[in-house]
Amino acid sequence: MAKRVGIDRDAVIRAAAKIADDQGWDALTLAGVAKKLRVRSPSLYNHVGGLEGLRRELKLLALRDLTAALSRATSRQIARRRRPSSGRRLSRPSSSAIAELTRPRWLPRPKTSRALEAAAGAIVETILSVLSGYGLDRCEGIHAIRALRSTVHGFAALEIAGGFGIPLDVDKSFDWLVSALLKGLSSAQMR
């Protein structure tokens, strides 16, 4: 079956990302993507491997975008031990795919692909390279990543749920949190 002119894999993925971001991950369907692109649903199979394949592509895109953002942020800020002001923007699930990737493990999730595992591994390696500046070995770095991720994701989840009702600047609270974590990494020998 020939591919429709003007519709390519990237257009399909962008349309799916828009739907997922606007309406939520669970609202993403092939019929919805097809309607947005003004094509019939079966024609999407020329570009993606069904709904599961489309979701996998969205997660891969989100991981690659996150890796690029983390690389930029860490090279400019964390590596110089400055407070990462852009880190808060990274902590907010900017896309439905990022939110889906960070679901708790006890919820059912589809099998991952090698590409997804490699993209997730790139994020870990990026953060480990920054944490090496704190004198952490690889195992300590993994522990630190888990602590940082838990803290930042917890903050973002509370913010999204409206959990910060006290009229105090949330950005300053986040900066305080990150500063405290970085001081902890600087002063504590985890060995």
Instruction: Give pLDDT, residue 76.
Output: 54
Instruction: Give pLDDT, residue 61.
Output: 83
pLDDT digits (tens, 9 = 90+) for 83-132: 444 445 554 444 555 556 655 544 455 566 788 788 888 888 888 887 87
Instruction: Give pLDDT, residue 16.
Output: 92
Instruction: Give pLDDT, residue 70.
Output: 65
> Please, is 91 exposed, middle or buried when counting C-beta atoms within 10 Å of its C-beta (0-12, 13-18, 19+)?
buried
Report for 58-62, 65-69, 126-130, 141-145: range of highest mean pLDDT: 141-145
Instruction: Give pLDDT, residue 131.
Output: 80
Could you write out the DSSP letters of every residue in 151-171?
HHHHHHHHHHTT---SSS-HH
Instruction: Give pLDDT, residue 92.
Output: 46
Instruction: Give pLDDT, residue 73.
Output: 60
User: Start-end ranges of CATH 1.10.357.10 in the chain?
Assistant: 59-187
Instruction: Give pLDDT, residue 124.
Output: 86
Q: Stretch 135-151: mean pLDDT, rounded?
A: 87
Instruction: Give pLDDT, residue 83.
Output: 46
Return the CATH class of domain 1-48: mainly alpha
Residue 78 pLDDT more than 60?
no
Instruction: Give pLDDT, residue 99.
Output: 59
pLDDT digits (tens, 9 = 90+) for 20-52: 888 888 889 999 999 999 999 998 998 998 998
What does the alpha-carbon distance between residue 174 and residue 45 come to, in Å, rounded to a whole number? 43
- Return the closest-CA partner of residue 48 out of 3, 79, 101: 3
What CATH number should be reported for the domain whose range is 59-187? Answer: 1.10.357.10
User: Start-end ranges of CATH 1.10.10.60 in the chain?
Assistant: 1-48
User: For the chain, how many helices (H) and strands (E)?
Assistant: 8, 0
Q: Stretch 79-83: mean pLDDT, rounded?
A: 48
Measured on CA atoms in the order 114, 115, 119, 120, is the torsion positive or negative? negative
pLDDT digits (tens, 9 = 90+) for 144-177: 888 887 887 788 778 877 889 999 998 889 888 8
